[in-house]
Amino acid sequence: MLKSLRTIPASGAVSRRAFSTGRVAKEGLRIGYVPEHFSTPLHFAQKYFSLNATLTPFPAGTGHMISSLKASEIDVGIGLTEGWVAGLAKAMQAQETAPYKLVGTYVESPLLWAISTGKDREFHDIGDLKGKKVGVSRIGSGS
pLDDT in tens, the chain (143 residues): 333 343 333 333 333 333 444 556 577 899 999 888 888 899 999 999 999 999 999 998 888 999 999 999 999 999 888 888 889 999 999 998 888 999 887 777 776 777 888 888 888 888 988 998 877 766 655 55
The structure's pTM equals 0.64
3 state SS of 53? strand
User: Which strands sit side by side in the sheet containing 53-57, from one edge to the other?
Assistant: 53-57, 29-33, 76-78
Query: Is 46:55 a contact under the CB 8 Å cutoff?
Result: yes
Q: Is the dihedral of CA 80, 60, 75, 44 positive or negative?
A: negative
